[in-house]
Chains A and B, each alone.
Chain A
């Protein structure tokens, strides 16, 4: 959580976001040492749809970069869409498509893109297209959000937590041994 302790990150996040956290997994404390455990950050619209996500821990500079990407993408999509959800979703898909290509050098096959009407039925299909093996966590998230732009948080986070971060969803408390 070092990134969130950064003053610059805190100032930017507090200005543009209302932040909350949720426990979705667990880990073990063995002899005072942490085993397992992870973190995922989702930048969402107030209606619960996901604009962008960060899978895994990142440093302050990277966290700030991703937060700014979400804010600027929202501004662009809002300006392009003029309150049309379909056009807004198109802009979000295009932004993640470009981000995936720019950062990972991978082009999502356009023929494999699911229809925007089905963006809420999130599966790990984009990670099994042969892309997943070549991509890191940021690339996998971009691939998922290219396929499912503005997916609802409750449908996206199980895929991110289990398929991208390889963690198990759990409501169990932290085990101390």
Chain B
């Protein structure tokens, strides 16, 4: 009886092929581990961390000066020459002047101050009534003083005694 040769399994494998095939795999694995060591992964906080509050204010870094934002081209301010304001006479509001106070041109009269001497240029001719020189002057004066006009038509002259 011939002895039966038993072939060991490790003799069957061509270890050179295995090594050639496994070498890149190992290179990739080692490279990944090395990269992982150099870049640790960020971990999510699992619990709140309460920091003690100090009485002293923590130093605050000075805020950088604000840089004006660039304005859109539409809102640019156009600088124009500004005229120096000059004092202007106060404009009196237009009055609703009665039609009988307007003169021939339709303009309202310029009212004189009440303190004006109403006796100026008047004569009484021995009566209790003050007379102005003419009906035209009476109408002009009545317009200014907002009065009516009284016109006497006579046969004579008030100036001459006995001629009226």
Query: What is A's interface to B at a CB cutoff of 8 Å?
Result: 1, 4-7, 9-11, 13-14, 16-27, 29, 34, 36-49, 51, 67, 70-71, 74, 78, 83, 85, 88, 153, 157, 161, 167, 174
Contacts and interface: CB of A to CB of B under 8 A. Distances in A.
Contact of A19 (B96, B126, B130): B130
Interface in B138-161: 138-143, 145, 147-158, 160
B150 A13 contact: yes
B73 to A, nearest CB: 57
A62 B80 CA distance: 74
A42 to B, nearest CB: 5
Given A21-B158, A22-B151, A23-B153, 11 more contacts: A10-B127, A10-B129, A18-B148, A20-B149, A22-B134, A22-B135, A34-B162, A41-B151, A41-B153, A43-B148, A74-B148
B150 A27 contact: no
Contact of B134 (A13, A20, A37, A70): A20
Given A1-B164, A47-B99, A9 B129 contact: yes
Nearest to B130: A14
Nearest to B137: A20
B124 to A, nearest CB: 8
Nearest to B164: A1
Contacts of B147: 16-18, 46
Interface of B: 96, 98-103, 126-135, 137-143, 145, 147-158, 160, 162-164
A21 B151 contact: yes
Nearest to B139: A46
Nearest to A13: B129
Contact of B131 (A20, A38, A46, A85): A20
> Counting chain A CB atoms within 10 Å of each CB, which of B102, B138, B143, B149 scores highest?
B149
Contacts of B133: 20
Given A18-B141, A174-B156, A42 B151 contact: yes
Contact of A174 (B139, B145, B158, B163): B163
Nearest to B100: A45
Contact of B139 (A13, A26, A36, A47): A47
